Amino acid sequence: MKKVSPRQQVVLSEIKAFLIKKGYSPSVRELAAILNIQSPSTVHAHLQSLKRKGMIDWEPDRPRTLRIIEWEERRDAI
């Protein structure tokens, strides 16, 4: 696993918190609001970076499919 920047760690933490609280993944716009970021494209850039680092994944062109890889690996190990 590659090193995650402090800002990317915040993004990842907010995704985890949203998933725990709501039971489904946040949209890019919801994440932008939570992170107080004006541009959804900035959030998308953080998500792309986390995906390249193997931290998250999602199904292209499908809403709310964002998932935390670490959680899936733990679940599969059980």
Please check whether residue 71 lies inside any domain of the structure: yes
Note the pTM of the prediction, 2 decimals. Answer: 0.86
| pLDDT over threshold 80, residue 17 | yes
Q: Structurally, how many domains does the chain consist of?
A: 1
Please check whether residue 1 lies inside any domain of the structure: no
Please check whether residue 50 lies inside any domain of the structure: yes
Please check whether residue 24 lies inside any domain of the structure: yes
Please check whether residue 45 lies inside any domain of the structure: yes
Please check whether residue 27 lies inside any domain of the structure: yes
Domain of residue 63, CATH code = 1.10.10.10
CA angle 14, 29, 50 (to 5 degrees): 50
pLDDT at 25: 97
55 closest CA partner among 70, 44, 65, 45: 70
Parent domain of 57: 6-77
Segment 61-77, tens digit of pLDDT: 999 999 999 876 666 66
